[in-house]
Amino acid sequence: MVSQHVNYTRNSYVLETRGWLDAEEDCRYTEPTAEMRDTLSGHALSLDDRIDLAVNMPWIGTYISAKGAVTCFEDLREGWTLLKRGFLYYYWDCRIEARAADFWDLSKIAPDEAFFGLAKHYARDGALGLALGTPEATWLLEHVDSSLENKCLGWLSDDFYAPYMLRLYRKLVGKADVTGVPSDPEGWEHPFVELVDNWDDGDSLAESIFRMCEYHMRWNRGDSPEHEAEFSAPYAILNPIEIHALEAIRRELGLATPQVEHELLQPPFYPVPDFVKNISTEEILAEDDLLRRIIEVNQPWCDGLED
């Protein structure tokens, strides 16, 4: 079914994303990669070194995942492999950021700034991880959940994505549902809430999935003064990761998800190809020595085995 909101055709998406990749290669890939290799060269990492790594990792993750998304139109396996590689940069950025928070002196930080990242970033990375079938997605969403109590993440009043992913995660682990985190801005219509509220009603859930697809197509380009476009990241523009996340959680719980016809729900991003869950981290690290080194020197520290 043709969407009422079309910011991109498939051809315009490929053309624009390739142009973006060419224009952004130096600042989002070449330069951050060089800086990270220099940081990792031959000395024990300080806390500041690790934070410097984390600062650069989302730049590289965005570039690689964008390259993966556009590659999916030509080489499906290579494209999805690049998407997972980009996700791993996002994930290890979050792991380093979360561990670094243990060393911050909160007495020197204003109370309204005393958090260590935004819930929306962890939630969106978690949605991509669920689409890719990676176990790392669970850690990201668990961190979002724990932030309600330990205040380790900031929650924005116009962020609908993080509360949605939090509610999905709580379905997965059997915890009580939570609403109003944060409270929705008045008058803003969006279908995130419906996707969980209609969990047990197949017909209503199908209608909510359709509305979510329409919302995705509307908000994959162009922020408004009141609200950012949730799906404007190059890897998400035509990739319904919020629907993938819904289906992944329901599948894990043994529940079917209604099938819906919509322009967004078509190859190469929907459905997720069966081979994607078998793309191993080891396969990716064999082709990316920088990522391998980042994990090698940071995993023990992130796991609390090193100070």
Candidates 68, 74, 103, 75; CA nearest to 239 is 68
Number of domains present in the structure of the chain: 1
Q: Quote the CA–CA distance of 75 and 58 in Å, as a whole number.
A: 24
- The answer to whether 66 and 17 are in contact (CB under 8 A) is yes
Residue 1 placed within a domain: no
What are the beta bridge partners of residue 154? 118
Residue 4 placed within a domain: no
Which position has the token pair 């224009």? 23
pLDDT at 116: 64
Residue 103 placed within a domain: yes
Sign of CA pseudo-dihedral 61, 66, 71, 76: positive
Residue 2 placed within a domain: no
Residue 19 placed within a domain: yes
Residue 234 placed within a domain: yes
Tokens of 11: 């051809």
Which domain, by its residues, includes 188? 10-302
What are the beta bridge partners of residue 224? 227
Q: Quote the CA–CA distance of 153 and 113 in Å, as a whole number.
A: 10
Residues in the chain where the model's pLDDT stays below 50: 1, 111, 114
Residues 6+ positions from 237 with CB-CB distance below 8 Å: 8, 13, 17, 69, 220, 221, 231
Residue 170 placed within a domain: yes
The count of residues in the chain is 307
Residues 6+ positions from 193 with CB-CB distance below 8 Å: 160, 164, 179, 184
The CA–CA distances, whole Å, from 211 to 23, 57, 254, 262 equal: 34, 33, 24, 10
Residue 3 placed within a domain: no
pLDDT at 3: 56
pTM equals 0.93
